[in-house]
Amino acid sequence: MSDAWTWHGGALAAAQRYFGGTDWIDLSTGINPHPWPSAADMVFDWQRLPDPAALAALEAAAASYFGVDPRHVCAVPGSEIGLRLVGALVGGPAQHMAPGYRTHGAMIAGGTAVDPEATRESRGTLILANPNNPDGRVIDGAAVLELLADRDGWLLVDEAFADTDPAHSVAAAVGDDQRLVVFRSFGKFFGLAGARLGFVIAAPALLAALRDRLGAWPLAAAAIAIGTVAYADQGWIAATRARLLREASALDAVLGRHGHQPIGACPLFRLIAVDDTRALFERLARRAILTRPFDDQPRWLRIGLPADGDALARLDAALADG
């Protein structure tokens, strides 16, 4: 199976070239199919460099949304870059929970994988995601913080999918003397991955080193403006959380009707385990539906949330046409 589809979700152009067809449905990512709507109406001054005061206002808005002190928040051009920069700053030895997001294994040179059941006995720096990607596993926040106790390294928690239900977030536990770092993504929940906006929540000393690495003007003016307004849109945020739960339940019903047991608690995607993932992936792709297989988990197929009833009906029909 091509690395274009197993490496990362969103390789729609590669699928179109290989399988042909038009009117594709991209279910290969965990990005909200209902983006924050007001971004399309905003106007940006593309002739001016981003203003430092505007960046500070974005970080303050994000801090309020996360429930943390603004001193502990640094905006980055996507949480992917934040993960890699912090990994370089922290250094090893390190372990990352597996299965998990591919970048976690690349953040710190020489890092090794550890089974979720073995994390309590792990030493050094530990990297995990909550909710986890790709299986959607959710760990209670108190249990996550227990992994920080008596640790001789850092606890790095990737909360890229936490916006759908922030109850399990440990961001509020970040402090000046805690070896805890939390990463948040804007694009997934707000459906605007192209804005390339993320956040690192950590002690000010670590953030100072991070800002030095980022240099001047780390974010585009558009990302700063969009994020600042979107994080304050409490009505849309609450309505979207409820909507995603309803639509995830509808997806579960379709998958269950065709004999698949949905795995995961993150409403932006579901995972299924099948005997012949390649055959199912290609069957869906030949019906212009892109999903996400994994080269290291050959029985897994991740399916993102369809955007509407028509897309869900097309998935239903494709799963039935075996």
DSSP labels, 32-76: -SS--GGGGG----TTSPPPHHHHHHHHHHHHHHHTS-GGGEEEE
Position 168 scores a pLDDT of 93
Q: Work out the mean pLDDT of the chain and round it to a whole number.
A: 94
CATH tag, 44-232? 3.40.640.10
Stretch (H or E) spanning 199: strand 198-201
Position 273 scores a pLDDT of 96
Mean pLDDT of the 15-43 span: 95
Q: Which residue has the tokens 């974010």?
A: 219
Torsion region of 21: left, alpha or beta (phi above 0 gives left; psi -120 to 50 gives alpha): left
| 235 C-beta neighbours (distance < 10 Å), count | 7
Q: Whole-model pTM? A: 0.95
**What are the pLDDT digits (tens) for 3-13?**
677 778 888 99
Is 70 exceeded by the pLDDT of residue 322?
Answer: no
**What are the pLDDT digits (tens) for 95-149?**
999 888 889 989 998 888 888 777 777 778 999 999 999 999 999 999 999 999 8
Question: What would the two tokens of residue 166 be?
Answer: 């922030």
* Helix 12-19 with 277-285: angle, nearest 10 deg: 80
In degrees rounded to 5, what are phi and psi of residue 300? -95, 145
Position 1 scores a pLDDT of 57
Is 70 exceeded by the pLDDT of residue 2?
Answer: no
Pick the CATH number of 3-35+235-320 from 3.40.50.2000, 3.90.1150.10, 3.50.50.60, 3.30.420.40: 3.90.1150.10
Pick the range with the lowest mean pLDDT from 37-46, 48-57, 80-89, 110-119: 110-119
Mean pLDDT of the 279-306 span: 94
Position 295 scores a pLDDT of 86
Torsion region of 169: left, alpha or beta (phi above 0 gives left; psi -120 to 50 gives alpha): beta
**What are the pLDDT digits (tens) for 221-264?**
999 999 999 999 999 999 999 999 999 999 999 999 999 999 99
Is 90 exceeded by the pLDDT of residue 28?
Answer: yes
Q: Which residue has the tokens 């996550």?
A: 144
Position 152 scores a pLDDT of 87
The ranges assigned to domains in the chain are 3-35+235-320, 44-232
Position 6 scores a pLDDT of 79
Is residue 99 reached through a cis peptide bond, with omega within 30 degrees of 0 on the bond before it?
A: yes
Position 215 scores a pLDDT of 96
**What are the pLDDT digits (tens) for 182-231?**
999 999 999 999 999 999 999 999 999 999 999 999 999 999 999 999 99
